[in-house]
A and B are shown apart, each in its own frame.
Chain A
């Protein structure tokens, strides 16, 4: 036991004396959370729009007020005729033009049908789609308010062809995603690097020619990283809840348990990587290509799994991150208990056990 603690102590010295490692360990989570939370977001705020109101009646004014009252749109200019529309787009800062044809109120009340035209600058299709969605949602809401008030089965029919799933606040998706990404990075990459570093510097040679058992060497190297990654997980959760108002509907204890389990999964992957390579460079490349990319692309973090082709959907099942993101979303957003997340927890445990057994078997008691 004394051997083990000395080993852990030594490992802590490595971590805390290496500025680079420390930067990665603690800088990365903060930077990523801030990047994904603030900068890289598919929410659009304060998009500048122009309005061509040919109706100029109570209802059309109400609609424009309703739209510009939201934080999503800022009214840049009021257009006077259709000829102004294209020049407004060409100036570049107007993203959307709303055209309200004449007789809006009259049509709305008498014919129970009124048209609104939405024109967007689709040179950036994602922004255009998102703007249309926002405008649509506001139009629907306005329509409900007006019809509810007048008890008339009236409809406003926007002429929009693009359809998009109304999204949740994006940060609810990014916090679990970033957390998964960082834990994967810290646990898997750092462990694989720290073990291969011993091989590269030749210290593994001396450790092998000592009474230390392989299990002890690996455990001694990994335990400090388990603690570290757990601390990092808590930092991310705190950032998510504190800055971005990420809700936690389920139990905190269960959430932490799930985090601990995923840390273990990632660590075991890191150990596995280190057992098949001898250089830090390769270990890093393998972690990057083999773990980070699938974690970003195939876990449902960035691209929804449901819309992938079948082979990728099947492949996504072997990505630990997919299961962890499901667990996180279930606990935090849906408030699920242990019973609801039993399947993904079971899958993660199984993977961890498998990786650990394989890497312990592959661990060389000699130099290969």
Chain B
């Protein structure tokens, strides 16, 4: 085999897919993924059904509205192992001395976590089927809601992966990701914005945080059925920034 100094596009894709397949398999090598998916499905669907019977409306808004807080707890558990475990088991040296780019390793792991997120969301399909049976839901609203949830999850997963790369300890990675995910959610809450604004009215820091870093205004637009370009740019941009920071951490490991 000849030793080329660069990768073709096909090799880039194949290498990324190889890492993604290994990572996705690793979730299911232990009971972790099964426990996460079942716990998420039970919790998310139970909360929705409770709201559904109280409100009596044929829509999924109640399900989507609960996602930010559920994701802030569940997704850090998905990402905490991605790099922290590689460091702890010392397999990071094995992985990054294979003929793959750090970008392929990062994207592969990220895609695997997106795959697990997709599985989480697939557990809500019975809700869609139930709504279709009971009445005529607004499918456009449901699709944009799912898009918002995927965008939200993509940001949290990229954040979690970056924080996992900073630590060899999965617990630390989990706690820091959960805290920062809650920050991204709560800075969009009207009550929190009012309190923070009230601390220094001239600065209006709460409003500034909601408009600049919070995930909520963008997510809520999708849930309301509005697919905004600015929201798409926010989700893609925030995810890209965290993945880029992840690549810097990996490069620094090589000293």
A binds B: no
Which of B's residues lie within 8 Å of A, judged by CB? none
Interface residues of A (CB under 8 A from B): none
